[in-house]
Amino acid sequence: MKKSLLTVALTASLLAGCQNVDNNALMQSGAQAYQAMALSDAQVKELSNKSCEQMDKEAQIAPPESPYSQRLSKIAAALGDNINGTPANYKVYLTKDVNAWAMANGCIRVYSGLMDMMDDNEVEGVLGHEMGHVALGHTRKAMQVAFGTTAARTAAAASGGIIASLSQSQLGEMGEKLVNAQFSQTQESQADDYSYDLLKKRGIDPQGLVTSFEKLAKLEQGRQSSMFDDHPPSATRAEHIKDRIAADKK
């Protein structure tokens, strides 16, 4: 990944030829692209803070007195207030979309459209999965990729002198990339197992994880949600959790 990002920056410089190129900007952007995959945990969390803040500004957030917020407070209490030591911050986005996501800084967002179609136990299962991506380092890697591709694109535009610290639009774009991150099937399965283990640890019935996948499987058939487009089929994931429940009963 490092090599490909640097190649973009160098190619931009070569294509610019004798044009009026901001070489300092190119060097800065190339260094930024190179460093993307070596971001420290603190840097990843800082970028996650800024991206999450921008996403919140662009969304309609349920107020504290909203039934959605009250439901989420109950769910949050059941799941816990941190992810491996990182404080969890829960909010509801008022939208018909069916989705939920989390960032490396503990920012956890669930859409009201998902809450409308699932009961509390099922939402717990879904959020446990998203928390798994954070705990297992998947969202950290996704932020590195989002930051790196932003740096690479900036390098390509350096001939116009367009180099600066991340703008609000770039932060929002990075947030969108994280929300739509395509995790590998292995990562998705790992996050499923993390959710199952978390639910069991917290004394929560893992059956909700099964039925949440079954509901999402129906959406997949009608293509009404892109939430799990790149994940293993939800029906397959439901069967995996059923197998784990059955194995634990033996």
Hey, which residues are catalytic here? Answer: 130
In angstroms, the Cα distances linking 23 to 14, 18, 208 are: 11, 11, 55
Output b/e per residue, 79-92; b: 16+ Cβ within 10 A: beeebeebebbbbb
- Cβ-Cβ contacts under 8 Å for 247 (sequence gap 6 or more): none
Three-state secondary structure call for residue 34: helix
- Cβ-Cβ contacts under 8 Å for 58 (sequence gap 6 or more): 172
Q: Is 69 left (phi over 0), alpha (psi -120 to 50) or beta?
A: alpha
As a whole number of angstroms, the distance between CA 102 and CA 88 comes to 9
* Among 118, 124, 75, 72, CA closest to 93: 72
Neighbouring C-beta atoms of residue 239, cutoff 10 Å: 14
DSSP letters, 6-26, are HHHHHHHHHHHTTS---HHHH
